[in-house]
Amino acid sequence: PATTHAGYLSGLNDEQRDAVESTEGPVLVLAGAGTGKTRVLTSRIAHILATKRAHPSQILAVTFTNKAAREMKHRIGHMVGQEVEGMPWLGTFHSIGVKMLRRHAELVGLRSNFTILDTDDQIRLIKQLLQAEQLDDKRWPAKMFASLMDGWKNKGLTPDQIPQGDARAFAEGRGRKLYQAYQDRLLTLNAADFGDLLMHPINILRNHPDLLAEYHRRFRYILVDEYQDTNIAQYLWLRLLAQRPAGQQPNLCCVGDDDQSIYGWRGAEVDNILRFEKDFPGAKVIRLERNYRSTQHILGAAAHLIAHNEGRLGKTLFTDLVDPEHDKVAVTNAWDSEEEARAIGEEIEQLQRKGHALNDMAILVRASFQMRGFEDRFVTLGLNYRVIGGPRFYERMEIRDALAYFRVTVQPADDLAFERIVNTPKRGLGDVAIKLLHEYARAKNIPLLAAAGELIEGEEFKPRPRAALAEIVHNFRRWGEMVTHMRHTDLAETILEESGYTAMWQNDRSAEAPGRLDNLKELIRSMDDYDSLPGFLEHIALVMDTEQNESMDAVSIMTLHSAKGLEFETVFLPGWEEGLFPHQRSLDEGGRSGLEEERRLAYVGLTRGKKRVKIWFVSNRRIHGLWQSTIPSRFLEELPEAHVEVAEASSSYGGYGASRWDQDAFSTSSYQTPGWKRAQAAAQAGGYPGGRDGRISYGENGVSGSNPRDNAARRADKYINR
Ligand code: ATP
Ligand code: MG
């Protein structure tokens, strides 16, 4: 065809071009980060459209996020030279699943206008079912059952398909019955939960060969990005659509990188990629080896690190970006996370002064609680930032709840805050009770909490809600009195404990619960920087007021997980300490495979950087209210000397920062003998290691008198592979 010189082909290397032009038959592109896998997919679609092999509606293309789908569509339009009209089947597995399910809802007993349940609705429903079965919610929590069901649905298992052992795992063998009851109930409600969005389509396609054949005719080309992170349900759904009757091969192109499989904890199966050639005999496998994204230093560091994993397919990667001007990957040590945020903030400002756009910089964290320090610091500096892939720290549900408690404590007339937490955790206050409260407050023109105070004296409420309200009223009175004579961080902790809020998350077995508890701890920790509860709340009000919009120049903050597929000129990777990264939970739960997944996450982080990657680790973190010396991440030891430099904290951190470095006089020995006791003493004295006010001094075992910055460098130095 007369397309050989089409613009979208001209920049591609031979292998990429092969992948783009091999439109017929199954193709697997197996290649490392930044080799142009996503670009190949995009060009391939453009090629299919430009050569009129298919209409936009005949292409099924799966991306990992909705944002990636929008971007891909935009680029295709650009390549083809015109706005692509509709690509109705370009999206994430879930968005395509919903679309398919709405078309055939009646086949599973739903109507096409079914609602999609959120987690809260789902839990409420499960609770009802557990109650009907007279199961104790303490022993068999609803959240636990929710995550069990989620696991089944990710494997595409309907109630009659779950294995015996699994069925017995919940409530002495009642798992299957409950699952069935739950599915029945959803149908009555004309609702589907998240897992159903793929499980239903799988069953529809399995049970209706005529429909399946229709989809086979419709989808002339199928493309999948990030194939290494598909779970079983996604794989089954895809295989149904792709595998054709004997003798026919699908035009299927999957691209992926086994080294970037980071969703194993959510049921993703890297084996899917290994099985490709078996599922589609005669498949063409294309390897891309040239990386277009990163400098040689970044690539060298990433390759050396990931080589420590055992279960790998193994790949070669090279880059032409060998300009000697390029920075090595920098590793810097900071005293604590505050200092880390301050130093990174300064580096960002320096880069900005040299003309670098904030849009080209990202901070990638392992755990969401780490975002707090950066957000606070950037608000102080007036530096624009945006959080990608989730809410900003102070907008998270658990943080808003906690803040609502603090607001009512300080300001009992804050009705909005009161409403938010009056029945969180659940206290048995139903809609009727809340309505009554509102009516009374309005009639007397007083705040809700005051209304509650009056109502508990009367007979309007039934005993249970009255007792619940009485407890709230008395609690807030007590906490209100404590504001003046209790340390505000202690008070905050007390409030969350006495209200049952902390316990609510402790008893929660969902996957997000531990992260939420970490966030709450981080919230309390951050209050230390303010003198009082009201002072802290005022700061929050200011932080919340900063705007975030798509078009402004801003630093991106996100978790490593949500950075997949993205790239930035400069990438900051803070918090490389044992227990945080690799994360303790994945070590505890996953053994070696957990560690290897963490290492892949580190590989993903490093390979997001185009020009500059800056890794940080801190010496001290406060865990459970106590300062603890940290151990630098083992991943630091796994970096190659040739591509890494131990950076010294820049001199401009001066002043206050420098004085603390001097005071702590920390020595090379201080990390070998974990400074547990000293950290503990510091916490008990209410101070800060290194003593903000100079009250506490360290280094009694340390070598004092040496230049602390050199020590910092030496200390980091030790952790780099030589
Ligand atoms: P990841 O594994 O991180 O998802 P990827 O393999 O999908 O990476 P892309 O994001 O497609 O890689 O490409 C990485 C960068 O290299 C992008 O900026 C892309 O535009 C660029 N690139 C890819 N191929 C070429 C090429 N042939 N010429 C110039 N630049 C290219
Ligand atoms: Mg990609």
Measuring from atom 16 of ligand 1, which residue has the nearest CA? 292
C-alpha span between 680 and 400 (Å, rounded): 30
Average pLDDT value over all residues in the chain: 84
Percent of the chain with pLDDT strictly greater than 70 = 87
d(CA 72, CA 38): 9
Sequence-distant (6+) residues with CB within 8 A of 207 are 107
Q: Is the CB of 39 under 6 A from ligand 1?
A: yes
The closest-lying atom of ligand 1 relative to the alpha carbon of residue 32 is 2
Residue owning tokens 């904030």: 358
Q: How far is the CA of 607 from the centre of ligand 1 (A)?
A: 11
Number of the ligand 1 atom closest to the C-alpha atom of 31? 6
Name the residue of 292, 566, 571, 607 to mutate for ligand 1: max ligand atoms within 8 A of Cβ: 292
Q: Whose CA is nearest to atom 15 of ligand 1?
A: 293
DSSP 64: S
Per the DSSP assignment, residues forming a β-bridge with 629 are: 620
Q: Residue 82: is it exposed, middle or buried by C-beta count within 10 angstroms (0-12/13-18/19+)? A: exposed
pLDDT tens digits, 296-352: 999 999 999 999 998 787 777 777 766 667 889 999 999 999 999 999 999 999 999
Place of tokens 């099924």: 60
Task: Point out the ligand 1 atom lying closest to the alpha carbon of residue 12.
Answer: 27
pTM of the model: 0.80
Whether residue 42 is annotated as binding a ligand: the answer is no
Kindly give the interhelix angle for 37-50 and 66-80, rounded to the nearest 10 degrees: 50
| Nearest atom in ligand 1 to 42's CA | 11
Q: Is the per-residue pLDDT at 693 higher than 50?
A: no
The response to whether residue 12 sits with its C-beta less than 6 Å from ligand 1 reads: yes
Residues labelled as active-site residues: 37-38, 225-226, 260, 608
Q: Which stretches of 548-670 are assigned E, i.e. beta strand? A: 555-559, 568-573, 609-623, 626-629, 644-646
Whole-complex ipTM: 0.99
pLDDT at res. 526: 86
For ligand 1, is residue 291 a contact (CB within 6 Å)?
Answer: no
pLDDT band for position 390 (50/70/90)? confident
Cross-strand partners of 31: 288
Identify residue 532 by its one-letter amino acid code: S
33 is in an annotated binding site: yes
* Ligand nearest the Cα atom of residue 566: 1
d(C-alpha 317, C-alpha 291), whole Å: 6
Which residue ranges form the domains of the chain, and what is each CATH number?
Answer: 7-93+204-288 (3.40.50.300), 115-189 (1.10.10.160), 296-387+548-653 (3.40.50.300), 395-540 (1.10.486.10)
Atom 2 of ligand 1: nearest residue by CA position:
33
Work out the end-to-end distance of the chain between its first and last CA atoms, rounded to an integer number of angstroms.
54
For residues 152 and 297, what is the distance between their CA atoms, to the nearest angstrom? 43
- Ligand 1: does its nearest atom lie under 6 Å from the Cβ of 340? no
DSSP code, position 349:
H
Percent residues over pLDDT 90 in the chain: 57
Distance separating alpha carbons of residues 293 and 32, to the nearest angstrom: 11
- Which of 526, 623, 621, 604 is CA-nearest to residue 559? 604
| pLDDT reported for residue 692 | 30
Closest residue by CA, ligand 1 atom 31: 292
DSSP 75-134: HHHHHHTS-----TTEE-HHHHHHHHHHHTGGGGT--TTPEEPPHHHHHHHHHHHHHHTT
Chain segment 464-483, per-residue pLDDT in tens: 889 999 999 999 999 999 99
Check residue 400 and give its pLDDT: 92
31 labelled as ligand-binding?
yes
The alpha carbon of residue 620 and the mean position of all alpha carbons in its chain are separated, in whole angstroms, by 24
Distance (angstroms) between ligand 1 centre and the Cα of 74 equals: 16
Q: What per-residue confidence (pLDDT) applies to 571?
A: 98
Q: Facing residues of 613 across strands?
A: 571
What does the alpha-carbon distance between residue 390 and residue 558 come to, in Å, rounded to a whole number?
8
User: Ligand 1 centroid to 611 CA: how many Å?
Assistant: 14
Q: Tell me if 294 sits within 8 A of 319, measured CB to CB.
A: yes
Annotated ligand binding at 607? The verdict is: no
Could you say which ligand is closest to the alpha carbon of residue 605?
Answer: 1
Atom of ligand 1 nearest to the CA of 13: 27
CB of 635 closer than 8 Å to CB of 306: no
Distances, alpha carbon 581 to alpha carbons 39, 338, 602, in Å: 30, 18, 8
pLDDT of residue 66: 84
Spatial distance between the Cα atoms of 677 and 665, rounded to a whole number of angstroms: 16
Nearest CA to ligand 1 atom 11: 36
What is the DSSP secondary structure assignment for residue 162, as one 8-state letter? S
The ligand that comes nearest to the alpha carbon of residue 34 is 1
**DSSP state letters, 205-244:** HHH-HHHHHHHHHH-SEEEESSGGG-BHHHHHHHHHHH--
The 10 Å Cβ neighbour count of residue 210 is 6
Query: With left for phi above 0 and alpha for psi between -120 and 50, is residue 127 left, alpha or beta?
Result: alpha
Q: Is the CB of 368 under 6 A from ligand 1?
A: no
The pLDDT tens digits of the residues spanning 620-661 come to 987 666 788 999 999 999 999 999 999 876 544 433 333 233
702 carries a ligand binding annotation: no
Q: Is the dihedral of CA 92, 95, 101, 103 positive or negative?
A: negative
Ligand 1 pocket, residue 36 CB under 6 Å: yes
pLDDT, residue 667, reads 30
Structure tokens at 274: 């290994």
Joined tokens for residue 574: 């803070």
Contact 291, 319 (CB under 8 A): yes
Minimal-distance CA residue to ligand 1 atom 26: 12
519 lines ligand 1 (CB under 6 A): no
**Cβ-Cβ contacts under 8 Å for 247 (sequence gap 6 or more):** none
Nearest to 616 by CA among 329, 305, 297: 329
3-state secondary structure of 310: coil
The rounded Å distance from CA 525 to ligand 2 centre is: 37
Q: Are 405 and 421 in contact (CB under 8 A)?
A: yes
Q: Which atom of ligand 1 is nearest to the CA of 288?
A: 6
Above 70 in pLDDT, residue 541?
A: yes
Per-residue model confidence (pLDDT) at position 673: 29
Q: How far apart are CA 35 and CA 57, in angstroms?
A: 28
Are 448 and 437 in contact, with CB atoms under 8 Å apart?
A: yes
CB 683 near ligand 1, within 6 Å = no
Helix (H, G, I), strand (E, B) or coil at 577: strand
Distance between Cα 630 and ligand 1 center (Å): 37
264 has binding-site annotation: no
CB 265 within 8 A of CB 154: no
**Mean pLDDT, to the nearest integer, of 126-144?**
85
- How far, in Å, is the centroid of ligand 1 from the Cα of 554? 23
Tell me, rounded to whole angstroms, the distance of Cα 268 from its chain centroid. 15
Which residue puts its alpha carbon closest to atom 18 of ligand 1?
Answer: 293
Ligand nearest to the CA of residue 29, numbered in listed order = 1
| Rounded-to-integer distance, Cα 427 and Cα 424, Å | 7
- Amino acid 430: pLDDT: 83
CB atoms inside a 10 Å sphere around CB 699:
19
| CB neighbours of residue 556 within 10 Å | 21
- Closest ligand, as measured to the CA of 567: 1
For ligand 1, atom 19, the nearest C-alpha belongs to 36
pLDDT for residue 554 is more than 70: yes
CA distance 469 to 428: 10
The C-alpha R_g of the chain, in whole angstroms, comes to 28
186-233 pLDDT, tens digit per residue, is 999 899 999 999 999 999 999 999 999 999 999 999 999 999 999 999
Tell me if 346 sits within 8 A of 383, measured CB to CB.
no
Measured CA distances, 521 to 76, 225, 518, 524, 528 (Å): 45, 37, 5, 5, 12
Q: Which helix (H) or strand (E) holds 62?
A: strand 59-62
Q: What's the gap in Å between 37 CA and the centre of ligand 1?
A: 6
> 261, exposed or middle or buried, with CB in 10 Å at 0-12, 13-18, 19+?
buried
Residue found by looking up tokens 């022993």 in the block: 139
34 lines ligand 1 (CB under 6 A): yes
- Half-sphere CA count of 504, side-chain side, radius 13 A: 17
pLDDT in tens, 97-120: 999 999 999 999 999 989 888 777
> What pLDDT, in 10s, does the model give residues 702-718?
223 333 334 444 444 55
Tokens of 630: 């940290």
What atom in ligand 1 is closest to the CA of residue 291? Answer: 16
692 CA from centroid of ligand 1 (Å):
47
Give the distance (Å) from ligand 1 centre to CA of residue 35. Answer: 5
